[in-house]
Amino acid sequence: ELRAPVREEQFAAVIAHLRHNFFADEPLNRAVALCAPGQPHAELEAHALATLRDGLSCVALHGATGQVAGVALNGVTRPGDVARARAALDALADTKFRRIFSLLYGANLQLDLFGAHGVDRVFECRILSVDRRWRGKGLACALLRRSEAIARQHGFKVLKEDATGLFSQRVAERCGLRAVAQVRYVDAAARDEASGHAPILPPRPHDCLKVMVKILH
């Protein structure tokens, strides 16, 4: 059962789901060994909660138990937000988190989705996560399609996702998103090594980051 928006009393259950399924498993998080399954992560939780407060997210609940089976955490991104977020990374203590978000923000700063599409806000799917026990059944696709419906209801023209691994890229493609930018992890790692930074190399089959977009007519 899909529910949107996610109510405040469900935030704690969503965070618990992310601790057990997203923080450790997402390909970039895995590449830097950000967390062990079940472990909390202050910066990622702050990122998730800020996104939940935008009121555009949806959750899939397991019918029999009411447990969180998956989530799409969606937020609004406006011009200047990414540059500000990147500048704020310097103040963060967690170097692994900083490396991941430098890569994501760097790819996004190469693009001007606002100018390209004549909009002042973009609907961004920031976290797409399905419980390990229920993967491969189309749940992520259902969550992304519902997210698209939410974006349309709120009058957004651009839906965007940074798809960090092959499976999320397949899901996004199936839902009609197309890659507008791509960073091969080996290329980013070579640049990092050349500048003395630790490289991020997700495990196979995840070989690139794709910034993926769907224009909503």
Which chain residues interact with ligand ACO by CB under 6 A? 21-22, 25-27, 125-130, 135-141, 161-165, 167-168, 170-171
Count of Cβ atoms closer than 10 Å to residue 134 Cβ: 16
Give the start-end residues of each E strand in the chain: 2-3, 58-61, 68-77, 122-130, 158-163, 178-184, 208-215
Beta-carbon contacts of residue 99 (< 8 Å; ≥ 6 apart): 32, 192, 197, 198, 200
Pick 65 or 195: Cβ nearer ligand ACO: 65
CB of 27 to ligand ACO, least distance (A): 6
Pick 127 or 189: Cβ nearer ligand ACO: 127
Pick 149 or 196: Cβ nearer ligand ACO: 149
Pick 113 or 127: Cβ nearer ligand ACO: 127
Q: How far is CA 24 from the centre of its chain?
A: 14
Alpha carbon distance, N-terminus to C-terminus of the chain? 27
- DSSP label at residue 5: S
Pick 133 or 193: Cβ nearer ligand ACO: 133
CB of 67 to ligand ACO, least distance (A): 15
Pick 90 or 110: Cβ nearer ligand ACO: 110
CB of 21 to ligand ACO, least distance (A): 6
Let me know: does 63 contact 1? Beta carbons within 8 Å. Answer: yes
Count of residues for the chain? 217
Burial of 178: CB neighbours in 10 Å, binned 0-12, 13-18, 19+: exposed
CB of 91 to ligand ACO, least distance (A): 24
CB of 6 to ligand ACO, least distance (A): 15
Give the three-class secondary structure for 47: helix
CB of 69 to ligand ACO, least distance (A): 9
